[in-house]
Amino acid sequence: MNLSSVAVFVALLGVGHNVDLEVVAQIESGGDPKAVSSAGARGLFQIMPATWKEFAKRGERWRDPEDNRAVADRYLEWIAETLKGWGDEGWANASHILAAYNGGIGRFKRCGFAVERMPGQTRDYVEKYWKGWAERQVVRESANQGVRKSGKAKKGESTQKKMESTEERD
């Protein structure tokens, strides 16, 4: 399945975005939930205070990794829905969502929804995401093959992974 097929599949399911949040957290903060940038972005996903104020629910704290992730997830979903509403045919494509996340959704629209027209820093960000995503796929596949061969989950592996490996064998 190629990336455009994945985007179509996600669109048909009605999922707001298909961005791997673990990869984004590594790019944004190196996995540090207490990270604060010189621009004031905070937490695992380096969310700016104004964005936090708009997308956080009462009681959510930026230093809490789960709260920061939930806000990032809602924000990414909003970006996808906004791109869709603006007529971006690639609205479900992670590259489009990430270009808007990193470089600004208004700028992405002004650039004609074209990642290649975004500033170099944003293009580099999208490229870094796909590199990290590919590395995670290799790790996942390796872990899944180990489960398939043994029929057992490795120490610390989730029940979900066990279920997925069972479904793949059926």
Q: What is the pLDDT of residues 17-70, one digit of tens each?
A: 789 999 999 999 999 999 999 999 999 999 999 999 999 999 999 999 999 999
Q: Supply the range of the domain harboring residue 37.
A: 3-151
What's the pTM value of the predicted model, to 2 decimals? 0.74
Q: Could you tell me the CATH number of the domain that includes residue 129?
A: 1.10.530.10
**Is 165 a domain residue?**
no
The domain tally of the chain equals: 1
- pLDDT the model gives residue 83: 95
Q: What is the pLDDT of residues 65-93, one digit of tens each?
A: 999 999 999 999 999 999 999 999 998 89
**Is 159 a domain residue?**
no
Residue type, 126: V
Residue type, 130: W
| C-beta separation of 84 from 91 below 8 A | yes
Q: Is the pLDDT of residue 4 over 70?
A: no
Average pLDDT of every residue of the chain:
83
62 Cβ contact list (under 8 Å, min separation 6): 42, 43, 47, 52, 56, 68, 71
**Is 170 a domain residue?**
no
**Is 160 a domain residue?**
no
Q: Is the pLDDT of residue 154 over 60?
A: no
**Is 161 a domain residue?**
no
